[in-house]
């Protein structure tokens, strides 16, 4: 059976880069005989205007039934309070579908100058369902509170189960990569209990994988090491907030957030999602770089391949990534954020042409 993907365009530039991503997926589907099927569901500000909530119950129900999800950026800063319908759909999918692993690759590309001036290829494996993020670390209600008008408190949740499974995911990924190395990033010198528990879990998993190199780096030192020697790292495993920050840093160093692919996944479901935000300031102008969401969709196809016994899905994902490399290496097909003049849909058309569609 063909894979059925649920597409949610989101806010700001979301509809534009989602349309571009669909153009590329359709070309890859035709070229590789995938027979992909696409359905669209509302989220974000359009859903709020039409249904009174940024995440309609019907959209969540359809997400549970889909083979894979493609989510456009969300302008959560513009949402009303949750009681008035403002739900962060990204967080809701991550917790509601238990998409515990956020895989964020960052690599320099041939022919595209990198801001850091050094070649590197790493992946941040970010725990996705707990940590300091107040919208996903409590069973009921937010994980932060205003004690008085002058005192705010935020709670952090770190569990053995979540820490162990993200560490297992990191070591499984490292086993497929040439460097075969995992670096655990933490702040256990200050957060001794919570990051201490996270490190205990990482060390236990490391002991079960003696063939994979393992080390640990404090998070502030890691930010500096990424600038100085990014090539020293392979798979970086860490908690939610650290992973969010460090992956953005690594992606910007590799060429920009517009290139930053991201996959949220569990063992049974996955969601492609651009690493960047909704960029409402350039929405509707047709100049947004769709590479991040396109690369995320390629990751989704690769994730689907072994689960559906369909190597052609993996081949299509690899072909999309190759087409991205080729288009980005050519100044004539770069978007405005990379110093070029190619528009959103023209960039997608260039990729589709390289795919044969």
Please indicate whether residue 220 is annotated as part of the active site.
Answer: yes
Model-level pTM?
0.95
Catalytically annotated residue among 75, 187, 214, 234:
187
CA-based torsion, 25, 30, 32, 37: positive or negative:
positive
Tokens of residue 28, six digits: 């890859």
Question: Would you give per-residue pLDDT tens digits along the chain (357 residues)?
Answer: 689 999 999 999 999 999 999 999 999 999 999 999 999 999 999 999 999 999 999 999 999 999 999 999 999 999 999 999 999 999 999 999 999 999 999 999 999 988 888 999 999 999 999 999 888 788 888 889 999 999 999 999 999 999 999 999 999 999 999 999 999 999 999 999 999 999 999 999 999 999 999 999 999 999 999 999 999 999 999 999 999 999 999 999 999 999 999 999 999 999 999 999 999 999 999 999 999 999 999 999 999 999 999 999 999 999 999 999 999 999 999 999 999 999 999 999 999 999 986
Q: Give the span between the Cα atoms of 5 and 22, in whole angstroms.
A: 10
Tokens of residue 81, six digits: 């309070």
Q: Tell me, what's the pLDDT at 136?
A: 79
Catalytically annotated residue among 121, 248, 322, 330:
248
Which of 55, 117, 108, 79 is closest to 277 using CA atoms? 79
Catalytically annotated residue among 11, 67, 79, 133:
133
Catalytically annotated residue among 11, 195, 244, 337:
244
Q: Which residues make Cβ contacts (< 8 Å) with residue 242, sequence separation at least 6? A: 126, 185, 186, 187, 219, 222
CA angle 181, 251, 322 (to 5 degrees): 85
Contact 3, 313 (CB under 8 A): yes
Q: Which residues make Cβ contacts (< 8 Å) with residue 192, sequence separation at least 6? A: none
Please indicate whether residue 244 is annotated as part of the active site.
Answer: yes
Q: Tell me, what's the pLDDT at 142?
A: 84
Q: Tell me, what's the pLDDT at 340?
A: 95
Helices (H), 117-239: 160-174, 194-207, 219-228
Please indicate whether residue 242 is annotated as part of the active site.
Answer: no
Q: Give the span between the Cα atoms of 234 and 179, in whole angstroms.
A: 6
Q: Tell me, what's the pLDDT at 139?
A: 80
């Amino acid at each position: 059976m063909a894979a059925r993907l649920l597409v949610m365009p989101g806010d700001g530039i979301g509809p534009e880069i989602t349309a571009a991503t669909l153009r590329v997926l359709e070309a890859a589907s035709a070229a590789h005989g995938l027979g992909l099927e696409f359905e669209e569901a509302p989220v974000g500000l359009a859903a709020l205007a039409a249904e009174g909530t940024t995440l309609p119950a019907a959209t969540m129900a359809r997400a549970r039934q889909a083979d894979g999800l493609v989510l456009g950026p969300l302008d959560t800063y513009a949402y009303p309070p949750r009681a008035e319908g403002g739900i962060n759909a990204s967080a809701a999918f991550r917790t509601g579908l238990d998409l515990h692993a956020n895989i964020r690759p960052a690599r320099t590309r041939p022919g595209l100058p990198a801001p850091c001036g050094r070649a590197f290829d790493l992946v941040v494996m970010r725990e996705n369902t707990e940590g300091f993020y107040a919208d996903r670390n409590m069973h009921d209600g937010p994980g932060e509170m205003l004690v008085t008008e002058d005192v705010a408190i935020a709670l952090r949740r770190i569990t053995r189960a979540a820490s162990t499974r993200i560490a297992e995911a990191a070591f499984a990924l490292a086993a497929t990569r040439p460097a075969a190395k995992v670096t655990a990033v933490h702040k256990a010198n200050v957060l001794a209990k919570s990051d201490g528990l996270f490190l205990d879990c990482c060390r236990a998993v490391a002991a079960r994988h003696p063939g994979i190199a393992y080390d640990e780096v404090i998070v502030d030192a890691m930010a500096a090491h990424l600038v100085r020697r990014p090539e020293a790292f392979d798979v970086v495993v860490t908690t939610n907030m650290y992973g969010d920050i460090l992956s953005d840093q690594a992606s910007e160093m590799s060429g920009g957030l517009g290139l930053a692919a991201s996959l949220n996944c569990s063992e049974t479901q996955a969601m492609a999602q651009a690493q960047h935000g909704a960029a409402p300031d350039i929405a509707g102008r047709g100049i947004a770089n769709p590479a991040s969401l396109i690369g995320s969709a390629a990751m989704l196809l690769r994730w689907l391949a072994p689960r559906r016994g369909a190597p052609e899905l993996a081949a299509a994902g690899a072909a999309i990534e190759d087409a991205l490399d080729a288009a980005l290496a050519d100044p004539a097909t770069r978007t405005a954020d990379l110093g070029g003049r190619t528009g959103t849909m023209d960039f997608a058309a260039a990729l589709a042409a390289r795919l044969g569609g």
